[in-house]
Amino acid sequence: MSSKHVVSCFIAALLAWAPLQAAAKTCSVAIDSNDAMQFDKKEIRIAADCTQVKLTLRHTGALPAEVMGHNWVLTTTANLEALATAAGKLPAGSDHVPKGDARVLAASKVIGGGQSTTLTFPTSVLRKGGDYTFFCSVPGHWSMMKGKLVFG
């Protein structure tokens, strides 16, 4: 193999690598929660070209996590009720997220007033045009704290 050939192989590899890097795109989303047991968004839209979602959950209230804690959990709308029921039975300190449960597509920890938390998840867990719901899985919250996530 000539050194010229090695160099051209190297350039070809670089060219093949560059588009893959350019295609990776992290999209940031923020959602607020409060002491009135509400999210400030009923819908979150993720563009089709996002490969990762960086979601920041803020709690703009003042009540501590033990009283009015919130988290952000993503699942399919079909699994919402069953997952919310299962999560609601978990003790405080578990973040109300069942471990290793395939119905959980993404989940944050529970936060209290004045706190925020960020989670990152790949959009490979989502199907374009799928029916997804995000909710707070703290017991008793999900009927008020939920919304749609749209990907694509």
Q: Which residues bind Zn ion (CB under 5 A)?
A: 70, 136, 138, 141, 145
Nearer to Zn ion, 107 or 138 (CB): 138
CB 19, min distance to Zn ion, A:
41
What whole-number distance in Å separates Cα of residue 149 and Cα of residue 75?
A: 9
Nearer to Zn ion, 104 or 145 (CB): 145
CA separation, residue 109 to residues 12, 48, 94 (Å): 44, 26, 9
CB-CB contact of 146 with 43 (8 Å): no
CB 37, min distance to Zn ion, A:
6
Nearer to Zn ion, 27 or 63 (CB): 63
CB 33, min distance to Zn ion, A:
6
